[in-house]
Structure 1
Amino acid sequence: MIIRDVQFVISAVKPHQYPEDALPEIALAGRSNVGKSSLINKLIQRKNLARTSSQPGKTQQLNYYRVNNGLYLVDFPGYGYAKVSKTQREQFGTMIETYLQEREPHKLQLLVIDIRHEPSKDDQLMYKWLKHFQIPTCIVATKADKIPRSKWDKHIKMIKTTLEVEPGDNVVLFSSETGLGRDQLWAIINEAISDAEGPEGAADDADSADSAGGNSEE
């Protein structure tokens, strides 16, 4: 995937603040400090556009990044951070629930899990919630470089078992350090967008893939 242009567009809280250009949206959810910002930066091949922080819970809005003028990556606030107040957690929950239930351009949800750890109760609830509302989901197991390759299969199995992953949902091994999984994840994103648009969008899909660089590596 060749990245020609990326822009941070807006931090949104309410639906009236969402972009109105109807570009497909790929959203990212996960617990605080799971590596969502690093994942975004690796996907878009920029070092610091999505700001990483040693302070969990820093993202408190829906952050929109427009990629190649063809789609948005939407970064959700991290969940499960103890120092966030109960009121803030409720506000985050309402904001995310509103987006997931009402946002038509939303084509795929990336559920980001740290491969080193068993999915938390919050991760399990999020996955069950996504499946209940039949939202297309891909699980991204980040920080693969932090454990030996020989343990990857064991940890992926742990994630699938704990979340009770449905057979049709992809699980992608990812490393923001090495780039492992980047091409695979872009292929899944492009497929989700094409599937959502259906046959009528086939010609447009070809043009979009061309302008976005297809699946070639930069």
Structure 2
Amino acid sequence: MSPDLTQKSISFNSARFLTSASRLEECPPDHGAEVAFAGRSNAGKSSAINCITTNGKLARTSKTPGRTRLINFFSLNRENCRLVDLPGYGYAKVSRDMKDDWQKHLGHYLNDRRCLRGLVLVMDIRHPLTDFDQMMVEWCEHNKLPLMILATKADKLKFGQAKTAMLNIGRKLEGLECLQHLVMFSATSKRGLEESQDALTHWLEGGSAEPV
């Protein structure tokens, strides 16, 4: 599908908080286009979203478990285009029942949200492909959902080390049809910013993409 040239070009610094939802029925109407961000709680997901939107306060981290469980939606200047911040996983100090409940509703969103155009999986380049990361990659492959991986905190490594880490990630994920973009990313140095914005624009404007 070709982009609709009659609509505004997407400007990521137009991103504004729209609403939060704890379950699928509380989400905005299921039309238009969304791209969701997922990642472990310490992977730098909020920093990545804030960097991409050039808004340091857009995606806020919180120590409150109830806040952590919410799916947060951000509108963009193009009508019915949204970025979605999914609950962080792995470090929230909540009860097992609460975790089970939140994972169930998160699963409903991922499985049933028809306007979902792609998933951005944020992982720390120094500790990539955790069990959670592998689970999300496998889910995208099974459901044929386009995937972009942001290997964050690249500024924490020397460039040679970062390149080696990227090669290792690429080898482990070789052959996956869902993986369309593997980006070395740093919210601090802005490495990978333009590449990730271009990929998001392509998904949200309805273009088809080729795997990496």
Q: Please, what TM-score do these two structures have when normalized by structure 2?
A: 0.83
Match in the other structure for 1:173: 184
Distance across 2 between alignment mates of 1:182 and 1:174: 7
Distance across 2 between alignment mates of 1:6 and 1:180: 20
Distance across 1 between alignment mates of 2:149 and 2:31: 25
Deviation of the 1:140 alpha carbon: 0.8
Instruction: Identify, as 1 or 2, the structure richer in helix.
Output: 1
2:39 aligned with 1:33: no
Give the root-mean-square deviation of aligned CA atoms. 2.4
Match in the other structure for 1:18: 27
Determine helix, strand or coil for the equivalent of 1:22: coil
Q: Deviations over 1:13-40 (max 9, x none)?
A: 2222111272310101111111111111
Task: Return 5+ residue gaps in structure 1 as ranges.
Answer: 199-218
Deviation of the 1:138 alpha carbon: 0.8
Match in the other structure for 1:144: 154
Deviation of the 1:164 alpha carbon: 5.2
Deviation of the 1:144 alpha carbon: 0.8
Distance across 2 between alignment mates of 1:157 and 1:34: 19
Aligned ranges 1:120-159 → 2 under 5 Å: 120-159=130-169
Across the two proteins, how many residue pairs are aligned to each other? 197
Instruction: Report if the CA contact (8 A) 2:30-2:114 is conserved.
Output: no
Cα gap change, 1:82 to 1:32, in 2 (>3 Å): same
Match in the other structure for 1:188: 199
Match in the other structure for 1:51: 60
Q: Please, what TM-score do these two structures have when normalized by structure 1?
A: 0.81
Task: Return 5+ residue gaps in structure 2 as ranges.
Answer: 1-9
Amino acid at match of 1:30: G
Out of 96, 104, 120, the residue aligned to residue 94 of structure 1 is 104
